[in-house]
Amino acid sequence: MSSSPFPEADLGADARIGDARNLDSILRIPVLMQVVLGSATMPVANLMKLGRGAVVPLDHRVGEPVDVMVNGRVIARGEIVIVEEDNSRFGVSLTEVVGPSADDANS
């Protein structure tokens, strides 16, 4: 006889193994991660004039934190860093992890 007032809550080792398999499946789900360096707004006419070598000014300044987004939601902020000595690859060093917003709690 189970000692729990909710017999379904006392599932034992088999449930833990099942939970581990479910968690493993969840942890393998791919998500889209983006690091947003900045954004710009311009009329379509200016967009059509862009070509190779064009420079589009962004709303972020050098040294300002960048947003790290997962599936369209900001989850962290960080700084751009050089990953390789030859300056060919960049990464982001997280400086702040953003908690869920009030909108997320209501979804």
Domain of residue 65, CATH code: 2.30.330.10
pLDDT at site 44? 97
Is residue 4 included in any domain, yes or no? no
Is residue 19 one of the residues assigned to a domain?
A: no
Q: Specify whether the CB–CB gap between 73 and 79 falls below 8 A.
A: no
Residue 95: name the closest of 70, 75, 76, 82 by CA.
Answer: 76
Residue 54 is assigned to a structural domain of this protein: yes
pLDDT of residue 15: 59
* 55/39 Cα distance (integer angstroms): 13
Supply the range of the domain harboring residue 102.
Answer: 32-106
Residue 63 in any domain: the answer is yes
Model pLDDT, residue 48: 95
Residue 59 placed within a domain: yes
Instruction: Give this prediction's pTM.
Output: 0.61
Q: Is residue 89 part of a domain?
A: yes
Query: Is 26 within a domain?
Result: no
Domain count along the chain: 1
Torsion, Cα of 80, 83, 89, 95 (10° steps)? -20
* Residue 22 lies inside a defined structural domain of this protein: no
User: Which strands sit side by side in the sheet containing 66-70, from one edge to the other?
Assistant: 33-36, 66-70, 73-82, 90-97
Closest CA to 35 of 76, 95, 85: 76
Q: Are 93 and 56 in contact (CB under 8 A)?
A: no
pLDDT averages per 10-residue partition of the chain, 107 residues: 49 63 87 92 96 93 90 93 84 90 56
